[in-house]
Structure 1
Amino acid sequence: MTGNTDVVVIGGGYAGVMAANRLTQRTDVRVTLINPRPTFVERVRLHQLVGGSDDAVVDYTDVLAGRVRLVVDTATRIDAAERRVRLATGGTLGYDYLIYAVGSGSADPDVPGAAEFAYPIASLEDARRVRPVLDAAPDSAPVTVVGAGPSGIETAAELAETGRAVTLVCGGVLGPYLHPRGRRAVARRLAKLGVTVLEGPDATVTAVARDAVRLGGGRELPSTVTIWTAGFGVPDLAGRSGLSTDALGRLRTDETLTSVDDARIVAAGDSAAPSDLPFRMGCQSAMQLGPQAAETVLSRIAGRQPAPVAVGFAGQCISLGRRAAVFQFARRNDAAVRFHLGGRPGARLKELVCRSIVWQLSYEARKPGARAWWISDGTRQHLLRARRSEAPTSAGQPA
């Protein structure tokens, strides 16, 4: 390919910014980043925004390479045949390659009343919307947090530390990712903060009202403010654009993160489903998938075969207020192990991780391509081979 190559990145989160920055290592690549807001959102701090201890935003000038053109708009459709992206404002952007990094958000709750009376916090706008509601409620007003993943646990702890009366409704087990030892540590800290934790089959929300939450078994909890953290979904842009997606709506790709429909479209982050075996949604995988998506594009521009994706995990870090946290260690394949770091040391590690994320984005902006290694999960290839060998039998016909 001769002349300049135009690459459009849709989505300015962790994966999108890392991808856009990595692309700037070639001077003949023009990079455009489309994002619906003019500031970078630290999603790992949205629970702090809800609790009032952080604004969860960073200026793009601090994390985005100067050569990247930022377009504040929303992509409404990808026209793969014409290689153009349609924008909400009515314009279009052409591309030679496209990186699809639209991220994730709250899944639409199918519980009666949840959409009307519960507050999601998966986006900056959602988290900002609930802040004045909490400020207007008396300190003694009951607050219910629905969902016992990291977002629910962190939000419950953050609010309880400010003196709120918080009930955490798990809908199952507390912290399902955690090893039992790490789960017990989280439970102890929540109890110390005064959080009421409801687990088990009866701790499932069946309806939400303006001032109450109804659980399985008919129990009803008073709830002045109900915060919904259960479940994540992805934008439907790929599906609306006629591209192949998995059941959740993530763009289906091969192991190089290239769309199964179009070699000019590459996915990264929460909205990617490589080989129908997607990685856990979150910053940890997005920070690795973003630059690797960019490397796939750069390889194609250079006429080289792109490398397969390599992602590994270290664990999961959960804030428990401002003075404690639990870092749950894991194997590279994201399986939790018995070891964890808790208390104040855990809180210091969590804050170090959060700060290092912004530093990594900034470093990639200044020195694109400096990091050339990835933590690899050696079990992934075994899983893929096993799936391929089982495919003809399970399908009942040759592949």
Structure 2
Amino acid sequence: MPHQRAHVVVIGGGYAGTLAANRLRRQPDLEITLVNPRPEFVERIRLHQLVADTGTATVGYDSLLGDGTRLLVDTATRIDTGARTVHLASGAALPYDYLVYAVGSTAAVGSAVPGVAEFAYPLAELEEARRLHEAIARSAADAPVTVVGAGLTGLETATELAERGRTVRLICGGVLAPALSAPGRRSVATRLRRLGVEILRTAVVTEVRADAVVLDDGTVLPSAVTIWTVGFGVPDLARVSGLSTDALGRLHTDETLTSVDDDRVIAAGDAAAPSGRPLRMSCQAAIPLGAQAADTVSSRLTGRTPAPIDQAFVGSCVSLGRGGAVVQLAHRDDTPVNAFLGGRIAAAVKETICNATLWQIRREMKKPGSSIWLKGGRKTATAEATARP
């Protein structure tokens, strides 16, 4: 009787899923299928460049996936854990022995602000970035562009467009660049002023119209294009499949990234909530999580006890146009320190880091099991949480 190869299905071809698929190849005699809705890999950290015409944001999977890994361009609509089958939008059903759940994140949905769904442009998916690019191209060169949200995505989009000569307004609704230290935030504010970006720090948008935004004090500001970068969500695949999730929809797992409901389902990336304490949504977290998810699958296939996740952060980076950036340093548990790198040197570092994400995936493709990452952050955070009264 012929030997039956174990089949691992990876749902999601982003940073975590692609890395996981490549790393799984070090397990011999394994069938691997990567399910992704697009035939190209999306560099989400470059979507703001696509919008502003300063770069592209897609890469062919032929340069990222190792030999023997099957790319299936389709969308998972439901996971039947009882039958170990993934149901696809095409109508097909894909059986699995183990499943890596790496569906990633998307723009926050269900905003209570009137007009957001109809008139604002989110920026978390390739298709959204392309629609926004077209809207910017259709608008007059001096038409006002409003960016709502002053997190990293909002800052990168606002500065990229301003550097290209667009008239940009940034509505914070609170703290500017909340992920950064106070010195880092001051550096960001200086760069925004130099680029001519109007900053409304305390204003809150209460309505979005086709040609304007309305603020909480009743002010109506003209806006030819309104970009909505407030928060992120995750696809609801786990929830509709009857799996346990957190309030945002991330899959509940233990510290080995194994679903609390089914030990054949392993999560990675933005859609994972290990022990109810998810890591920051970022490719910095997604790539090690993809590697650790693959290691958990390999351990279960070989009868070994999976190791708990162990990774740390080094900081965060924000592009401020092609000519500037802030590289914020942090403790291993991701809390920022009062040290950062700014200016053109930081822009060069940020570009190197962006390139390094693909380099890591390609390195794993060429030599499965080669990925390494900084460790200790999870243990630090756990120890601090335990010590609190």
Q: TM-score range by the shorter chain?
A: over 0.9
Give the alignment of 1:137-176 within 5 angstroms. Answer: 137-176=139-178
Distance 1:384 1:96 in 2: 36
Question: Is 1:311 matched with 2:311?
Answer: yes
Deviations 1:104-139 (A, max 9, x none): 000112210011000011100000011111111111
Letter of the aligned partner of 1:192 in structure 2? R
Task: Determine the structure 1 residue equivalent to 2:222.
Answer: 222
TM-score by length of 1: 0.95
**1:279 counterpart = 2:266:** no
Displacement of 1:386: 5.6
Deviation at 1:373, TM superposition (A): 5.2
- Correspondence for 1:188 among 187, 190, 200: 190
* Pairwise CA distance, 1:209: 0.3
**Pairwise CA distance, 1:372:** 4.8
Measured in 1, the distance between the counterparts of 2:275 and 2:384 equals 11
Match of 2:242 in 1: 242
SS in 2 for 1:329: strand
Which string of whole-angstrom CA distances, capped at 9 and with x for unpartnered residues, describes residues 153-194 of structure 1? 000000000100000011111001110100000000010000
Aligned-partner Cα distance in 2 for 1:47–1:66: 32
- Structure 2 equivalent of residue 212 of structure 1: 212
Aligned residues between the structures: 385
Matches of 2:102 and 2:4 in 1, distance apart? 25
Residues 244 and 252, structure 1, Cα contact 8 Å, conserved in 2:
yes
Which residue matches 1:6? 7
Q: Confirm or deny that 1:126 pairs with 2:133.
A: no
CA distance in 2, matches of 1:329, 1:384: 22
- 1:393 aligned residue: none
What is the root-mean-square deviation in Å for CA atoms of aligned residues?
1.2
Contact 1:7/1:32 (8 A) holds in 2: yes
Is 1:252–1:275's contact at 8 Å kept on the other side of the alignment?
A: yes
Q: Which amino acid aligns with 1:119?
A: Y
Structure 1 runs (4+) deviating above 3 angstroms are: 383-387
1:289 and 2:263 aligned: no
Amino acid at match of 2:256: T
CA contact (8 A) 2:150 2:171 kept: yes
Matched with 2:105 is: 104
Task: Give the corresponding residue for 1:64.
Answer: 65
Mapped to 2, the partners of 1:348 and 1:110 lie a distance apart of 39
Shift of 1:380: 2.7
Q: 1:67 to 1:130 in 2, by over 3 A?
A: same
Partner of 1:379, secondary structure, is helix
Alignment of 1:30-69 (within 5 A): 30-69=31-70
- CA distance in 2 between partners of 1:196 and 1:305 (Å): 54
Q: 1:386 to 1:92 in 2, by over 3 A?
A: farther
Distance 1:381 1:190 in 2: 37
State the identity %.
Answer: 58
1:216 Cα deviation from its structure 2 partner? 1.3
By how many angstroms is 1:64 displaced? 1.2
Distance, in Å, in 2 between the alignment partners of 1:386 and 1:21 is 38
Match of 1:382 in 2: 383
Secondary structure of 2:256's match? coil
SS at 2:252 equivalent: strand
Matched letter for residue 361 of structure 1: I
Question: Could you tell me the TM-score, scaled by structure 2's length?
Answer: 0.97
Structure 1 CA distance for aligned equivalents of residues 384 and 230 of structure 2: 28
Gaps of 5+ in 1: 391-399
Contact kept in structure 1, 2:360 and 2:371, CA below 8 Å? no
Q: Provide the secondary structure at the position in 2 that maps to 1:133.
A: helix
Between the aligned partners of 1:67 and 1:148, the Cα distance in structure 2 is 42
In the aligned structure 2, how far is the partner of 1:121 from the partner of 1:19? 25
2:93 paired with 1:79: no
Structure 1 CA distance for aligned equivalents of residues 290 and 52 of structure 2: 29
SS at match of 1:318: strand
Task: Indicate if the aligned counterparts of 1:181 and 1:338 stay in contact, CA closer than 8 A.
Answer: yes
Displacement, 1:218?
1.3
Q: CA deviation at 1:273?
A: 0.2
Partners of 1:155 and 1:66 lie apart in 2 by 36
Give 1:383 shift: 4.7
Q: 1:168 to 1:26 in 2, by over 3 A?
A: same
Output the CA distance in 1 between the equivalents of 2:323 and 2:386: 45
Q: Give the corresponding residue for 2:256.
A: 256
Structure 2: distance between partners of 1:106 and 1:383:
31
Deviations along 1:326-345, whole A, 9 cap, x unmatched?
00111110000100000000
- Looking at structure 2, the residues matched to 372 and 349 of structure 1 have their Cα atoms a distance apart, in angstroms, of 20
d(CA) in 2 for partners of 1:384, 1:163? 46
Contact 2:266 2:293 in 1 (8 A): yes
Q: Name the CA distance, whole Å, in 1 between partners of 2:355 and 2:96.
A: 33
The separation in 2 between residues aligned to 1:373 and 1:172, in whole angstroms, is 34
What code does the residue aligned with 1:90 have?
G
Distance 2:341 2:194 in 1: 17
Aligned to 1:329: 329
What residue number does 1:395 align with? none
Asked whether the 8 Å contact 1:3–1:28 carries over to 2, the reply is no
Structure 1 residue 384: deviation in Å?
5.8
Residue 135 (structure 1) aligns with: 137
Distance in 2 (alpha carbons) for counterparts of 1:215 and 1:129: 25
